């Protein structure tokens, strides 16, 4: 049985994915991280991450149970999240980590724009419109079947692209906008090496790192 969305909201709040905290944008980003995590879990596990209802609002999909709690009881919500140690299954943790990797670095508005491209949001938002210009919340409810039928193939493609590097022997680290590729079997990305990369100045945007016993780390 799927857990409550607040368990995963606590995870994201604890990792500061609700910044700027206690703002409209902070709440919006939290909503989108939950929404895309739900899609990812459906795509990978063929079941919902959380049971809470999702609705198509103007700025994208919202999980009302979390949105209202965050907006009206912000301090208590954040304090609970900071003290919570969510018990996550490996499947749940996997979905959340992929959501972080793909969407965590994006701001609230960018996530909202991406959300607006999802068929399930488009259809549900249109369905909620009234003739007087207002929106009927109950008709804005997003059916799971809409997501399964129209949005999962797209999110699966995104997941495949984001996780492709896991099957590769080579990893990379981005420092000051420069990408450094390295073999984790021969190189450990420790504090000393990161400091070297921070001080490195080169004309290109991509470099490789190798290790030589005589010369140490070589950037080329």
Shared domain for 64 and 90, answered yes or no, is yes
pLDDT of residue 149: 96
Q: What is the pLDDT of residues 26-74, one digit of tens each?
A: 999 999 999 999 999 999 999 999 999 999 999 999 999 999 999 999 9
Shared domain for 111 and 145, answered yes or no, is yes
Kindly report the length of the chain: 220
Shared domain for 128 and 189, answered yes or no, is no
Shared domain for 161 and 187, answered yes or no, is no
pLDDT of residue 215: 83
Residues 6+ apart with CB under 8 A from 122: 56, 116
Q: Which of 21, 205, 28, 6 is nearest to 103 (CA)?
A: 28
Partnered with residue 180 across adjacent β-strands are 173, 207
Shared domain for 53 and 126, answered yes or no, is yes
Shared domain for 158 and 176, answered yes or no, is no
Cα distance between residue 112 and residue 114, in whole Å: 5
Shared domain for 184 and 132, answered yes or no, is no
Shared domain for 77 and 146, answered yes or no, is yes
Contact 193, 187 (CB under 8 A): yes
SS3 211: strand
Q: Give the pair of three-digit tokens for residue 119.
A: 């068929």
pLDDT of residue 170: 67
Q: Which has the higher per-residue pLDDT, 173 or 90?
A: 90
Tell me the residue range of the domain where 176 lies. Answer: 171-219
**Percent of the chain scoring above 70 in pLDDT:** 97
pLDDT of residue 208: 87
Shared domain for 157 and 178, answered yes or no, is no
Shared domain for 159 and 176, answered yes or no, is no
* pTM for the predicted model, two decimal places: 0.75
C-alpha count within 13 angstroms, C-beta hemisphere, residue 163: 14
Of 165, 190, 209, which one is at a domain's C-terminal end? 165
Burial of 13 (0-12, 13-18, 19+ CB in 10 A): buried
pLDDT of residue 121: 97
Q: What is the pLDDT of residues 83-113, one digit of tens each?
A: 988 889 999 999 999 999 889 989 999 999 9
pLDDT band at 167 (very low <50, low <70, confident <90, very high): low
Residues 6+ apart with CB under 8 A from 111: 28, 29, 32, 33, 36, 60, 103
Q: Please identify which residue in the block is written with the tokens 């990812």.
A: 40
pLDDT of residue 168: 56
Shared domain for 33 and 127, answered yes or no, is yes
Shared domain for 161 and 177, answered yes or no, is no
The number of folded domains in the chain is 2
Q: Please identify which residue in the block is written with the tokens 């780390």.
A: 217
pLDDT band at 142 (very low <50, low <70, confident <90, very high): very high
């Amino acid at each position: 049985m799927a857990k409550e969305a607040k368990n995963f909201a606590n995870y994201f709040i604890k990792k500061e994915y609700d910044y700027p905290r206690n703002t409209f944008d902070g709440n919006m980003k939290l909503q989108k991280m939950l929404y895309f995590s739900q899609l990812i879990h459906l795509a990978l596990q063929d079941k919902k991450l959380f049971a809470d209802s999702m609705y198509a609002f103007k700025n994208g999909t919202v999980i009302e149970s979390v949105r209202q709690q965050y907006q009206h009881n912000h301090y208590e919500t954040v304090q609970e999240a900071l003290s919570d140690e969510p018990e996550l299954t490996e499947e749940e943790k996997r979905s959340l980590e992929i959501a972080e990797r793909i969407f965590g670095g994006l701001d609230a508005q960018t996530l909202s724009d991406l959300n607006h491209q999802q068929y399930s949001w488009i259809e549900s938002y249109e369905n909620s419109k009234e003739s007087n210009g207002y929106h009927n919340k109950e008709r804005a409810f997003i059916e799971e079947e809409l997501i399964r039928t129209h949005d999962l193939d797209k999110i699966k493609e995104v997941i495949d692209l984001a996780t492709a590097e896991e099957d590769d022997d080579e990893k990379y680290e981005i420092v000051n906008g420069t990408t450094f590729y390295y073999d984790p079997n021969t190189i450990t990305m420790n504090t000393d090496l990161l400091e070297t990369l921070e001080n490195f100045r080169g004309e290109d945007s991509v470099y490789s790192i190798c290790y030589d016993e005589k010369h140490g780390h070589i950037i080329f």
